Structure formats: C-alpha cells, structure tokens
Amino acid sequence: MPTGSEPTVLIVDSDIEVQRALRQLMESVRLRVETYATTQAFIEGYDPSKAGCLILEVRMKGLSGIELFRRLRGEGNRLPVIFLTKHGDVPMAVELIREGAFHFLQKPYNDQQILDLTHAAIALDARIRRQETERLAIVARFESLSTREREVLEVIAAGMSSKAMARQFGVATKTVEFHRANVLKKVGVENVTELVCLLFRSGYQTRDCPSGKGRLFPQIR
C-alpha cells in the first residue's frame, strides 16, 4: 500500500466556518489539509494512497458521515476517522467506536484535544500502512510457490506428517520432503513453526474443507 509523501488531514464538513477554523489549526502545526463540503465531493476527490486521517461530520446532505464511514470500512479502507459533530449522543458514539471509528468529539471542540487526536490518528495510519506493506511482502513469498507446493503448504499448516501427506497425494515420502524443503527455502524460513507463523501474518485464514479437516486458503486483497 503506498504511503504518500506527507500525511494529510482530510476534513469533511458542510460548515465553511468549521472547515476554515480546522484548516488554520492544522496548518498552524504544519499539517497538510484538504477540505470537502460534501461526502460526494470527498468520494470524488479522495486518493486512498494518501496517508493521514479523516475528520468527519455526522450530519451531511446526501450521503451522511456515518454512511460514508461505513462505505469506507466496507471497501476495506482503514483510514482513521475522527467524528466531529454537534448532532451526536453517547449511544451513537459507542456504536461508531465499536465499528472502528478512531474517536468521537462533539462541537464545540477543544483545539489541543483535536490536535492530539489528529496526531495520534496519523500515527495509527502510519502503523497500519507499514504493516500492510510488510504483509504484502510476505504474500509475495507465498505467491512464488508452485501449485503443488501450495498444496503441501496447506497440509503442513494443518499439522499433517510427511507420511500422511505422501498417502494423501499418492507419492513417495521423499517427494513430499523434497517439496517441503522447497517451500521452506522459497519462503525464507528455517522450520515449519516459522512457516506457519508467517503464513498467518500474510492474512491466510482457516476454513473447513469437505473432509472436515481445517485447511488454509489465501485471503489476499
């Protein structure tokens, strides 16, 4: 995932005075800012590769702030969102935090508090993007495996022995051990424990196969 050059504070609020005040506040600490008066304008102008965070009003014309937030999350976008509104209440705040919002503030806001939250949200976004970059590098290692090596990888992760693998694939045990060694070498690990740990860090998940045994399938975006 690209990280962009500098973090940008994205502000979506139909109140021009709020936009102006927030821009001045953020720029006073040398943060880049983009402002949008509608959620539609944000959707049309937003570049997901830009690092930063989103400060979002709940009540907007057309698509609401909450609907925009849920749309972003539904698309797998993990950009930290700070809700800033005078139309919220405790149940709404609790619900949005549970859904993954970074924070929920009511207007009028405290300048230092929102600056602190913005810096924390930007730091979180940086961690998320760094982790995603690392994950994709790991995924690339697994994508270098052949079809047979991926099949061997699945049964290795399921805890199957070389003899059991050989019976399942209808080949000699030495053939399975050859493929196992190739998997370890290509992925760049020393043993099966490291292999399985790396596999799950890549985003692979378990699910039941028809035989009833858990097997591993890629969940790669």
Inside any domain, residue 2: no
Inside any domain, residue 100: yes
Same domain as 128, residue 51:
yes
pLDDT band at 127; cut points 50, 70, 90: very high
Q: What's the rounded Cα separation, in Å, for the pair 165 and 167?
A: 5
Same domain as 120, residue 171:
no
pTM of the predicted protein model:
0.77
Instruction: Tell me the CATH number at 158.
Output: 1.10.10.10
**Residue at a domain's end among 135, 152, 185:** 135
Name the residue with tokens 């949005």. 96
Same domain as 174, residue 128:
no
pLDDT of residue 205: 61
pLDDT at 9 over 50: yes
Same domain as 123, residue 168:
no
**Residue at a domain's end among 135, 155, 180:** 135
- Between 106 and 208, the higher pLDDT residue: 106
Same domain as 149, residue 122:
no
- Between 47 and 204, the higher pLDDT residue: 47
Our measurement of the distance from residue 30's CA atom to the centroid of its chain's CA atoms, rounded to an integer in Å, reads 26
- Domain span at residue 35? 8-135
Helix (H) or strand (E) holding 65: helix 65-74
Inside any domain, residue 180: yes
pLDDT at 215 over 60: no
Same domain as 211, residue 131:
no
Name the residue with tokens 């596999």. 199
Q: What's the rounded Cα separation, in Å, for the pair 213 and 158?
A: 8
Same domain as 126, residue 20:
yes
Residue 83: Cβ within 10 Å count: 24
Inside any domain, residue 3: no
User: Smallest Cα–Cα separation from 164: which of 180, 176, 182?
Assistant: 176
Instruction: Tell me the CATH number at 117.
Output: 3.40.50.2300
Q: Report the chain's mean pLDDT, rounded to a whole number.
A: 87
What pLDDT digit, counting tens, does each position of 100-115 carry?
A: 999 999 999 999 999 9
Of all residues in the chain, what percent carry a pLDDT higher than 90? 61
Same domain as 58, residue 119:
yes
